[in-house]
Amino acid sequence: MFVLSEEHQAIREAVRAVAEAKIAPHAADVDEQARYPQEAHDALVAADFHAPHVPEEYGGAGADALATVLVIEEVARVCVSSSLIPAVNKLGSLPVMLGGNDQLKKRYLTPLAAGDGGFSYCLSEPDAGSDAANQKTKAVRDGDGWRLNGVKRWISNAGVSEYYTVLAQADPEQRSKGITAFVVEKSDEGVSFGAPERKLGIKGSPTREVYLDDVWVPDDRIIGDVGQGFAIAMQTLDHTRVTIAAQAVGVAQGALDYALGYVQERKQFGKPISDFQGLQFMIADMGMKVEAARQLTYAAAGRSERGDDDLTFFGAAAKAFASDTAMQVTLDAVQLLGGYGFTRDYPVERMMRDAKITQIYEGTNQVQRIVMARQLLAGIQSTL
Ligand code: COS
């Protein structure tokens, strides 16, 4: 009980081997140059870890939600920017998996699984951040399809991805019930991208605006039905908030591992600083919090896989708890390294900067608390 299966343990070991050999050596340079982690991309595609959640019937690895969490956690342990590759591919394509028909799934999941094109998720807009239903991007009927016009903001891997799930308002009077999800391709006429944002962290993952200028999308690229887009977008986030929790657990573990090695080597007052009880208490708290965050994240992954009624609560809880943990643990790792922790010669300051986004994206931790409170007040009980 409460242990990973042998298969899941084997996946963790396999991902860790790839991450340490092929991804970790480039993490500092990727951050320093704010460049796309091409080495990680190539290694993840070669090992079939770039979009592990895609079912086998579409040529994917068929990883369950927990296995996908393990992939993302282990990559984030060495490089959070690189962990956005499997995470964003799941976020972008999950609407198709949840709401698309067989034809749409085959058409878009197959190239994703083959490594022939990533998938981004276009929900946020300049005026639709936490208030995601306030979509200003318009979808207007035109022949056998729809004309899309609008601006999407904060889109991870924009410009790199070939495919985009785009939420747009098809019937403004209906508010959330008018929102519709479409698959847009990078090569569609009228699609363009803004300049890369200059960010505090996850500098290797390009974040850009996506401009939709009279983009025509045929009916067969609607995900689900007209008006179902908001529900599909929210269901998607229920599942993928668990993957953000996985990033958070991974980066926290990476910072803890580095700090553990450092405090046993660094000597002050004639002995390793790990001999001092004040630091031992810090280390103990870090380890305790990382493990609690991990357990909650894996419990949420189980709910994601089964589609349990309490997934909405668990996804929000895991994301909020694990990201707050990652922020605290990475800050403490910088503290344990003292002046060295404050320099770019050591990885913990990068980890601290990268951890911050996990408290913000896929819904701020304030929004997670709204989501959790609503679930509790609605009487949704834990399935355990
Ligand atoms: N699953 C299925 N349907 C859902 C849902 C979910 N998890 N959450 C909401 N819906 C449905 C609701 O049931 C409601 O439909 P009904 O009117 O038929 O009941 C509809 O969607 C509107 O929901 P609600 O009234 O709760 O919407 P709000 O405008 O109050 O927004 C929050 C709710 C704030 C929780 C939502 O906008 C949100 O999650 N915001 C953050 C968005 C985010 O994470 N952005 C990051 C972008 S990705 S990097």
Ligand 1: distance of its center to the CA of 237 in Å? 9
Strands (E), the chain: 119-122, 138-142, 145-156, 163-169, 179-185, 191-193, 207-218, 222-223, 267-268, 271-272
| Ligand 1 atom showing the smallest separation from residue 370 Cα | 35
Q: Are 266 and 372 members of one domain?
A: yes
SS3 48: coil
- DSSP track, 57-82: GGTS----HHHHHHHHHHHHHH-HHH
Give the mean pLDDT of the chain. Answer: 98
Mean pLDDT (whole number) for 208-224: 98
Q: Are 273 and 204 members of one domain?
A: no
Q: Are 83 and 193 members of one domain?
A: no
Asked whether the beta carbons of 216 and 189 are under 8 A apart, the reply is yes
What CATH number corresponds to the domain at position 334?
A: 1.20.140.10
In which region does residue 48 sit, left (phi positive, over 0), alpha (psi from -120 to 50) or beta (all else)? left
Q: Are 153 and 192 members of one domain?
A: yes
Q: Is the pLDDT of residue 369 over 90?
A: yes
Question: Domain span at residue 304?
Answer: 236-377
Last residue of a domain, one of 99, 114, 129: 114
Task: Give the number of other CB atoms < 10 A from CB of residue 353.
Answer: 18
Residue 253 CA to residue 211 CA, distance in Å, equals: 37
Residue 384 lies in a domain: no
Q: For residue 50, what pLDDT is reported?
A: 98
**Ligand 1 neighbours (beta carbon < 6 A):** 123-124, 130, 132-133, 176, 230-231, 234-235, 237-238, 312, 361-363, 367, 370-371
Mean pLDDT (whole number) for 23-41: 98
Q: For residue 2, what pLDDT is reported?
A: 84
Q: Supply the residue whose CA is at minimum distance from atom 26 of ligand 1.
A: 371
Q: For residue 384, what pLDDT is reported?
A: 65
Parallel, antiparallel, or unpaired for β 179-185 and 163-169? antiparallel
Ligand 1: distance of its center to the CA of 154 in Å? 19
Ligand 1: distance of its center to the CA of 240 in Å? 14
Cα dihedral value 260, 31, 87, 250, nearest 10: 0
Task: Spell 33-47 as b/e; 16+ CB within 10 A means b.
Answer: ebebbebbbebbbeb
Residue 1 lies in a domain: no
What CATH number corresponds to the domain at position 108?
A: 1.10.540.10
pTM summary value: 0.98
Q: Supply the residue whose CA is at minimum distance from atom 11 of ligand 1.
A: 231
Q: For residue 89, what pLDDT is reported?
A: 98
What's the sign of the alpha-carbon dihedral 100, 101, 104, 109?
A: positive
- Number of residues in the chain: 384
Q: Residues 73, 209, 349, 362: which is the catalytic one? A: 362
Q: Are 108 and 123 members of one domain?
A: no
pLDDT digits (tens, 9 = 90+) for 258-302: 999 999 999 999 999 999 999 999 999 999 999 999 999 999 999
Last residue of a domain, one of 114, 146, 172: 114
Q: Is 7 a catalytic residue?
A: no
Ligand 1: distance of its center to the CA of 39 in Å? 37
| Structure token digits, residue 228 | 């179902």
Mean pLDDT (whole number) for 165-184: 97
Q: For residue 1, what pLDDT is reported?
A: 76
Asked whether the beta carbons of 310 and 380 are under 8 A apart, the reply is yes
User: In DSSP terms, which residues pair with 166 in a beta bridge?
Assistant: 122, 182
Q: Is the pLDDT of residue 360 over 70?
A: yes
Q: Supply the residue whose CA is at minimum distance from atom 12 of ligand 1.
A: 231
Q: Are 246 and 213 members of one domain?
A: no
Q: Are 109 and 144 members of one domain?
A: no
Q: Supply the residue whose CA is at minimum distance from atom 22 of ligand 1.
A: 176
Pocket test for ligand 1, best of 176, 359, 364 (most atoms within 8 A of CB): 176
Ligand 1: distance of its center to the CA of 77 in Å? 31
Q: Supply the residue whose CA is at minimum distance from atom 1 of ligand 1.
A: 235
Last residue of a domain, one of 229, 252, 271: 229
Considering its fold, how many domains does the chain have in total?
3
Task: Give the number of other CB atoms < 10 A from CB of residue 235.
Answer: 18
Residue type, 129: G
Q: Are 94 and 170 members of one domain?
A: no
Residue with tokens 């643990």: 329
Mean pLDDT (whole number) for 51-55: 98
Q: For residue 382, what pLDDT is reported?
A: 77
Instruction: Tell me 116's DSSP state.
Output: S
